Amino acid sequence: MILRTKCLRPVIIAGLALCITACARFKQSTGTHDNAGAFATGHYRNLLVENGHSEKEVHSRVEDTFQQLFHGNPTNETVYFSCGSNSNGPLACIEDIKHQDVRTEGLSYGMMIAVQLDKKAEFNALWNWSKTFLYHSETNHPSFGFFSWEARTIGTRMSEFVAPDGEEYYVTALYFAANRWGSGRGIYDYKKEADALLWRMKNRAEITGEVQWQGAARTVTAGPLFDLEHKMVLFSPSSERNRFTDPSYHLPAFYELWARWGPVADRPFWHEVAMASREFFPHAVNPSTGLNPDYANFDGSLVSYARHPGSTNFEFDAFRTAGNWSVDWSWWAKDPRERELSDRLQTFFESKGTNYGCRFTLDGKQIDKAHSPGLVAMNAVASLAASNPVRSKRFVENLWNTPTPAGLERYYDGLLYLMGMMHCAGEFRIWEPK
C-alpha cells in the first residue's frame, strides 16, 4: 500500500497542478482575478505627491478647482448653475458655455465629481435636473428609460437621442452615492435607480417611434446601449446611424464594478464587456503614435461619420480614451497592454513639446495649434499606467502648472481638468458597499 501511494503521488500532484492552473485561467478569463490594482489593495497613487507636492497642497488644489468650476464667478469661471427647485428639491445643471446647452456628459461628470468629493447637495441637484428634464418615461418612445443627451438650460430638449457615455457615468456615480451616503427615497434611492438604468442599458427591448432632433421628427428604432454580440458600448443605439462605437465610451474600470454590484443575472455579461474593451483598445490605437480616432468599428477599424467629418482623427472625444485605459490599469491591473499604450501615447506627445495642440491625424500630423487643458489632463492621467517614471512625471507636472480653465472653453476642458487632477491626486476612488 505504501509503495502504491508513492507511485500515485506524482500523478496526484500533477493533477492538482493542472486543476490549479485551469482554475487560475478560468478566473482570469471570467475577469474575477483582481491582481494588484487599487480595488484589491485600497491604494490609490497620488502622482502629485510623488512629484514632490505636499498632500495638503494637492488636496487644496483639488478643492480650489472644484470651487472655481462649481461655485466661481458665473461670468467666466463656473459651469454649475442653480436652477430653482421642484418637489424633489433643488435643481442644478452644468452648462456647455460655448454651445449654450446642457449635456448628459457634463451632468453625469458633475455627479461623479460630486460623489468623489463628498458634495451631496450638488450631486442631488444635478440628478434631479437630469431626471426632471432629460429622462424619458414614455414607454413607447425609442429613448424610453434613458436620457436625452442635449437640452437648453431651461430644460427644453434639443435632441431626444441617447449618448451612452452619460448613462455609463450616471450608473457608476449612483452606485458610488449609494455606497458612500446610503440610498434615500424616490429618485434618491441611488441603488434602485442605478440597477434599473443598468438593466435597461443591456436588456431594454427595441422600440420604434419618433425622435425629435433639431426641431424635426425622425422615425427610428432603438434598443439597448450595448451591442450584445460584440459586447461593446454603442455610439448611439438608434437605427438611424450605423452601429459603431466610440473608443472614449469604453470604461472597463466601471464595467468591473457593474459585474460585482449590478443585477445578478447580468454580471457575467459585464465581465465580458470589460474584457472586450481591453481587447479593443490596442486595435483602435495607432501602432506608432498611440492616438485613437473619435469613432471606430467594433474591430477598431476606422468609421467615417458624415455629421462629424473629423471622426477618423484624434479629436475631442478621443482625449478621454487614454484616461479610461489608465484608470482601468490603476484600479484592476489586468491587462499590461494598457501600460504599453500609455507609454506609446506619452512618447508621441513628448516629441511635440509642452504646447502640442489638440487635434491630429492618427499618424501624428497636427491639424491645429489650439491648446487644450483637457488633453493635458488626460495625458497626465495616462501616467497611472505608464512605465517610464521620468517621462510620466513630466506630464503630471505639466498638469500641475496648467491653470484651471476659465472663459468660453471652460466646460469640457474644465471637467476633464478637474477629473484629471482628482485622478492624479488619488482622489478619484472606488466607493464600495459598506
Catalytic residue positions, numbered = 105, 317
In this structure, the number of other CB atoms found within 10 A of the CB of residue 340 comes to: 16
Which residues are bridge partners to 210 per DSSP?
Answer: 219
Distance between CA 394 and CA 380 in Å, rounded? 8
DSSP 42: -
Distance CA 156, CA 159 (A): 9
Residue type, 108: S
Q: How far apart are CA 220 and CA 205, in angstroms?
A: 14
H-type alpha helices, 182-305? 190-203, 252-261, 267-284
Cα 156 to Cα 103, 133, 135: the distances in Å are 12, 7, 12
CA neighbours within 13 Å on the CB side: how many for 271? 18
Coarse DSSP helix, strand, coil percentages of the chain, rounded to the nearest 5 percent: 50, 10, 40
> Is 302 within 8 Å of 310 (Cβ atoms)?
no
Displacement of CA 90 from its chain's centroid (Å): 26
Pairing assessment for the beta strands 80-86 and 89-96 based on DSSP bridges: antiparallel
DSSP secondary structure code for residue 205 in this structure: P
How many whole angstroms separate alpha carbon 58 and alpha carbon 374?
18
Do 254 and 246 meet the contact criterion of CB atoms below 8 Å apart? Answer: no
Please state the φ and ψ torsions of residue 75, each to the nearest 5 degrees. Answer: -75, -40
In this structure, the strands spanning 89-96 and 207-213 are unpaired
